[in-house]
Amino acid sequence: MQRLYFDKTTILGVGLIGASFAMALKGRGISGHIAGWGRKEKNLRTALKKGIIDSYELDPCKACEGSDLVVLATPPGAFPALAKKIRPSLKKGAILTDVGSVKGRLAYGLETLMPKGVYFVGSHPIAGGNKSGIEAADPGLFEGALCVVTETGNTNATALRKVVALWKALGSTVIKMPPEEHDRVYGLVSHLPHLLAYALVNTVADVDESLIGFAGPGFRDTTRIAGSPSGLWADIAVENKKNLLRYIDLYTANLKRLKTYLKKEDRGSLEKDFKRAQKLRERMRA
């Protein structure tokens, strides 16, 4: 059996990603005892019954006692308050990481909240989907996935190596980048598309909600992520506001250009624009 990286791990937020992470750790022998915390005891009891976690606490401080690894898997807006609350229970040498989709000021803020001898290293597995909850949890969720690990000028080198090794052990391909670069990249290829998907569905609602019944595979594919948890994505949007506002302006400019072509019935320009997008789309990772 693979040697344990961590004797005890605490998952703060046992939802889709948190539960999948716990299952992956167990399946690969990467951690010993796995404790869980969350706002809903019913969910925690289910996770315990399914063997996803070994114990749970309704007090996050108690859940983190003695843990070598603590994982923030709640909506990112809750990270700062939760980190402040658990500070007294974090043992020296522990690593705090997260699985959030936004980093930026959150990552730098979490670094400053760590007590002496405890280290924060941000991580973002590019995995999951529009479904949430432990019923959708999958121990193989991170296999073959990309995982961004963020580092700053203050990141502890040993903790960074352990977090990178952890994600590689879960089958992910790891890329390191600064928190602000992460938000610039994922604001464009993840956060903006979520906003657009919500807006597209709402546009149908503004015309006639009953028309959603006529939607085919194209509309379903385009708007799949509009089924993602609304509270989570509201947090992400606010945290990455600066990048998103700029990208919304760029997207609006693209729409205005297409609108101009339509008014003029300029088929050639429309086709040229569409082909440009088609070529770039074909370069995406499978």
178: its two tokens? 């600064």
Domain 182-281 CATH assignment equals 3.20.20.70: no
Q: Which of 128-142, 219-233, 250-264 has the least mean pLDDT?
A: 128-142
pLDDT in tens, 43-59: 999 999 999 999 999 99
Reported CATH class of domain 6-177: alpha beta
Are 6-177 and 182-281 equal in CATH topology? no
Smallest CA-to-CA distance from 65 within 16, 21, 12 is with 12
Above pLDDT 90, what percent of the chain? 93
Segment 178-200, tens digit of pLDDT: 999 999 999 999 999 999 999 99
Domain range annotation of the chain: 6-177, 182-281
Which residues are paired to 139 by β-bridges?
none
Region of 246 (left: φ > 0; alpha: ψ -120 to 50; beta: rest) is alpha
The one-letter code for the residue type at 250 is L
pLDDT value of position 5: 86
Predicted pLDDT at 136: 86
